[in-house]
Chain A
């Protein structure tokens, strides 16, 4: 049985689907990283993903254009981000709880729209695989890394890109300043509100893409509550990654590889009860949270509403 797991084809399969499964976690967790770096804890990621996922599927299914579907997901996620930003920045509401409110809103709304507009579960053609010329022919490596769909490539390109923005640009400096010491940033003329609006809306848009990656690139179907906790795991990955995009990448890969292994264990009929196998990634997340908290310090102003001293 173990030898079956270790055969080259299976190993390549596990790794390739592990890379693919990391996609939604990466988009959502990197979006959340921007928010938390600026001091905002957004727990509504799951709701944003669900609505984005539905929007993408519905638009793509009816227009036949996957790109329009993706755009719809981005807009829906950004709109929810805008609402979240107004509530947490202007109304200074408690971030954790308002996030739960947005989660319930997205959960209910995506189900409501699904039942009214579609009613039955449909499947659709998702983003096709794009074979990178040359590289995809490398045995093994090619199948794992260079034969994926465009959203997968996008997710992995997002990591260095966001790392660059956060660490090497003025914008990134402002985001970090607002998250560490909003009073100081404010006195230097950085608009705390504007930066937080930007990061929360960006986070919403990325969560929307994360949802779309499920419904029009990985599973190619929309079902009620199809994210089933994925958005919350993405928030956990931000802690795991120590608020760094590269750290988030390692966390997402660890998580998706375990998930992929779990799926293959079921496919191969290895006698571990499937319920127990499905449980593993969640147990892993808790262990990972234990291991990661002592290592890094969170942004000082995380989850604190900013109020100007007057």
Chain B
């Protein structure tokens, strides 16, 4: 009984961490002389208040989930991918290029090719740091951050030059954007909302990633490398290769997120010069969602919806109580800190269980890897 209660408590830790973050947020609202109940009510209403707002929440959750799936793979493989932003951008660029080039092909074919191109673009952008880690032992946290910055400039360059909308190129304003994708190339929508097919694709992929990680040799090896690099090496697993592969796959999912963002929501690429102008910081928030979902692809689904809701609701909150939506970034940061901090209770209890009842249940059910163990060079 006690054991079951403790397991339940472990599962609820992320929820407690979020509640703690909301409490800190409430405290900040009080300091700003805003009634937290009014503010959070507006947040809830903005995210779930109507069919339309719920659809918006799902639209925002889609890229978060796709990035989170990639994060599940890489973090489980003990590789920390901070490059989601850049991978999304490159995936979006390659996908957009497909849509702008093959204008005579049928819609279904172009969409399929474009999403595949996005997947590959992201894989390239994740694969480079992966290869650098495997070959030269370059810290992937740093290289993925650098790749983000390079991707942004690449996007700015392409959208101002080679890929600029031909009609903009003639104007003096020269808004850095591509031409709009043909209507036939848009992902199907659940009218009258903006909810598009991408959300369904993301959920299906979540199931596939679950199968990949727990039902295939490849997934087993990635997790084995993440849990115990030394033991894996003894078992003959080529550790660096699997780390690189995890990073490549992780990038691929982020790239797909970028492609789906273009084909499902924006229908063109436009840049304000920053990464988050295109991604909406999904490359970072996807990490938050994945951690919140305990690095489990299926739990990442509700986690992404939650953070999608926070983002959508924040806009409404901003309108109703005049609190900048940056508050949500603060709270996301706090959720990350609280979730990783709360791990200590889980570990403590695991150890107690191990020492008290050695032959009883092994803690392997909680197969959370200790991420970042190998983050050093």
Using CB atoms and an 8 Å cutoff, list the residues of chain A in contact with chain B.
41, 43, 47, 83, 87, 91-98, 100-109, 111-112, 115-116, 225, 228-229, 232-233, 235-236, 239, 273, 275-276, 278-279, 282-283, 285-286, 289-290, 293-294, 297-299, 302-304
Q: Which of B60-68, B149-157, B214-222, B236-244 contacts A (4 or more CB under 8 A)?
A: B149-157
Distance between A50 CB and nearest chain B CB, rounded to angstroms = 11
B203 at the interface (CB under 8 A from A): no
The answer, yes or no, to whether B184 is at the interface (CB within 8 Å) is no
Return chain A residues, CB-CB under 8 Å to B332: 104, 108
Flag whether B132 is at the interface (Cβ < 8 A).
yes
Cβ-closest 8 pairs across A and B: A108-B329, A101-B336, A104-B333, A105-B333, A108-B330, A101-B337, A275-B157, A111-B326
Residues of A within 8 A of B160 (CB): 273, 275
Interface residues of B in 151-181 (CB under 8 A from A): 153-154, 156-157, 160-161
Q: Are B291 and A289 in contact (CB under 8 A)?
A: no
Point out the residue from B157, B329, B330, B377 that lies within 8 Å of A239, measured CB to CB.
Answer: B377
A97 touches B341 (CB 8 A): no
- Residue B344 CB within 8 A of the other chain: yes
Which of B49-57, B114-122, B137-145, B359-367 lies at the binding interface? B137-145
- Which residues of chain B are near A289, meaning CB under 8 Å? 132, 138-139, 142-143, 146
Q: Which residues of B contact A (CB under 8 A)?
A: 32, 80, 82, 132, 136-139, 141-143, 145-150, 153-154, 156-157, 160-161, 274, 284, 287-288, 291, 324, 326-337, 340-341, 343-344, 370-373, 375-377
- Cα A303 to Cα B377 with chains together (Å): 10
Residues of B within 8 A of A105 (CB): 329-330, 333-334, 337
Q: How far is the CA of A111 from the CA of B329 in the complex (A)?
A: 9
Would you call B333 and A106 a contact (CB within 8 A)?
A: yes
Can you name 21 A-B residue pairings with CB atoms under 8 Å?
Answer: A43-B141, A93-B343, A96-B375, A97-B80, A98-B340, A100-B287, A102-B337, A103-B333, A105-B334, A108-B331, A109-B326, A111-B324, A116-B32, A232-B145, A239-B142, A276-B157, A282-B149, A283-B150, A289-B146, A294-B137, A303-B372
- Among residues of B, the one whose C-beta sits closest to the C-beta of A286 is B146
- Shortest C-beta distance, A150 to chain B (Å), equals 30
* Nearest CB of A to B34, in Å: 11
Question: What is the CA–CA distance of A96 and B327 in the complex, to the nearest angstrom?
Answer: 23
Asked if B149 contacts A96 (CB within 8 A), the reply is: no
Report which of A47, A97, A282 forms a contact with B291, defined as CB distance below 8 A: A97
Known: A94-B371, A104-B288. 7 other contacts (CB 8 A): A47-B333, A108-B331, A276-B153, A282-B146, A289-B132, A289-B146, A303-B375
